[in-house]
Chains A and B, each alone.
Chain A
Amino acid sequence: MPADIRSFFGGKPAGTPAKKDEPPAKKSQKGRKRAIVDDSDEDVVETKPKKTTPRKKQAQREPSPVGETTTTSEFFGKSKPKRSEPVKSKPATNGSTATPSKKTNGTTASSTKTPPSKPRTNGRTSSRKKNPPKPADEIEDDDHAFDDEDLEDDDVFEAGFKKGPRHDSYKKDLDEDEPLLPQQRRAGRKQKPTKADDDFEPEDEDVEMEDVEEEAVKPKALERNAKDKPASESSSTKKRKSPELDDEEDDYASPKKGKAAKRSPAKKKTKKDEVQDSAEVQAILASIPTIRAPSPPPKDGQSAKFNWRTAGNATAVPSAAGSKEKPVGAENCLAGLTFVFTGVLDSLDRTEGQELVKRYGGKVTGAPSKNTSYVVLGSDAGPKKLETIKAHGLKTINEDGLFELIRKLPANGGDSKASAKFEEKQQKEAQKVEEMAAEMEKEERRVGGAGGKASASGKTAAASGPDSRLWTAKYAPTALNQICGNKPAVEKLARWLRNFPKNQRTGFVMGGADGSGIYRAVIIHGPPGIGKTTAAHLVAELEGYDVVESNASDTRSKKLVETGLRGVLSTTSLLGYFAADGEKVEESKRKLVLIMDEVDGMSAGDRGGVGALAAVCKKTQIPMILICNERRLPKMKPFDHVTYELPFRRPTTDQIRSRIMTIAHREGLNIPGNVINALIEGSRADIRQVVNMLSTAKLDQSNMDFDQGKQMSKNWEKHVILKPWDIVTKIMGGGLFAPASKSTLNDKTELYFNDHEFSYLMLQENYLGTTPMLASSIHDPKERKLKNLELVEKAAESISDGDLVDRMIHGSQQQWSLMPTHAIFSFVRPASFIAGSMAGHQTVFTSWLGRNSTQGKLMRMIKEIQGHMRLKTSGDRHEVRQQYLPILWEQLVNKLQEEGKEGVDEVIDLMDSYFLTKDDFDAIMELGIGPMDSKDVKLETQTKAAFTRLYNQRSHPLPFMKASNVIAPKKQAKERPDIEEAIEESDEGEVVEEVKDDEDEDVDVTKDKYIKQPKKKKEPAAQKGGKGKGKKAKAEVGEDSEEDEKPKKGKAVAKGKGRGKKA
Chain B
Amino acid sequence: MALLVDKHRPRSLETLSYHQDLSDRLKSLAQSGDFPHLLVYGPSGAGKKTRIVATLKELYGPGVEKIKIDSRVFQTTSNRKLEFNIVASVYHLEITPSDVGNYDRVVVQDLLKEVAQTQQVDLSAKQRFKVVVINEADHLSRDAQAALRRTMEKYSPNLRLILLANSTSNIIAPIRSRTLLVRVAAPTEEEICSVLKVVGKKEGFKDVEALNKRIAKDSGRNLRKALLMYEAVHAQNETVSENTPIPPPDWEALIAQVADDIIKEHTPQQIMIVRAKLYDLLTHCIPATMVLKTLTFKLVPKVDDTLKAEIVKWAAFYEHRVRMGTKVIFHLEAFVAKVMRILESFLMNMDF
Binding site for B on A (CB under 8 A): 764, 768-769, 782-783, 785-786, 788-790, 792-793, 795-797, 799-800, 802-804, 806-807, 810-811, 847-848, 851, 854-855, 858-859, 862-863, 867, 870-879, 881-891, 906, 909-910, 913-914, 927-932, 959-964, 966, 968-971, 974-975, 978-979, 981-982, 1010-1011, 1014, 1017-1018, 1020-1022, 1024-1025, 1028
Contact = CB atoms under 8 A, between A and B. Distances in A.
A797 B271 contact: no
A974 B228 contact: no
B88 A981 contact: no
Interface stretch (B146-154, B175-183, B279-287): B279-287
B62 to A, nearest CB: 8
B235 A855 contact: no
Given A803-B331, A875-B44, A930 B254 contact: yes
A782 B2 contact: no
A1050 to B, nearest CB: 12
Interface string B126-145: 00000000011000000000
A959 B69 contact: yes
B1 to A, nearest CB: 6
Closest 10 CB pairs of A and B: A930-B254, A874-B49, A964-B72, A1025-B66, A886-B249, A803-B325, A796-B334, A932-B250, A796-B337, A800-B334
B338 interface: yes
B19 to A, nearest CB: 16
A631 to B, nearest CB: 37
Contact of B232 (A792, A887, A966, A968): A887
Contacts, number: 265
B6 A930 contact: no
Contacts of A1020: 68
A924 B255 CA distance: 19
B50 A874 contact: yes
Interface string B33-77: 000000000001100111001000000000001111111111100
Contacts of A873: 5-6
B337 A1017 contact: no
A1014 B90 contact: yes
A859 B334 contact: no
B334 A878 contact: no
Given A792-B337, A871-B69, A1025-B65, A930 B251 contact: yes
A1014 B253 contact: no
A959 B280 CA distance: 32
A789 B1 contact: no
Contact of B285 (A847, A881, A890, A981): A881
7 contacts: A786-B348, A806-B326, A855-B285, A876-B96, A886-B228, A889-B250, A929-B280
Contacts of B191: none
A851 B283 contact: yes
B237 to A, nearest CB: 12
Contact of B228 (A859, A884, A931, A981): A884
Most chain A CB atoms below 10 A, which of B73, B330, B348: B330
Interface in B84-114: 85-90, 96, 99, 110-111, 113-114
A1025 B67 contact: yes
A877 B44 CA distance: 12
A370 to B, nearest CB: 44
A882 B290 contact: yes
A1030 B44 CA distance: 30
Nearest to B232: A887
A235 B78 CA distance: 80
Given A858-B283, A887-B232, A927-B285, A978 B69 contact: no
Contact of B251 (A790, A929, A963): A929
A1024 B279 contact: no
Contacts of B287: 878
Given A785-B267, A930-B251, A961 B69 contact: yes
B217 interface: no
A611 B45 CA distance: 61
B250 A931 contact: yes
A666 B88 CA distance: 88
Contacts of A960: 69, 71
Q: Considering residues A874, A928, A1017, which has the most beta carbons from chain B within 10 angstroms of its beta carbon? A: A874
Contacts of A1011: 121
B313 interface: no
Given A872-B2, A1010-B121, A793 B135 contact: no
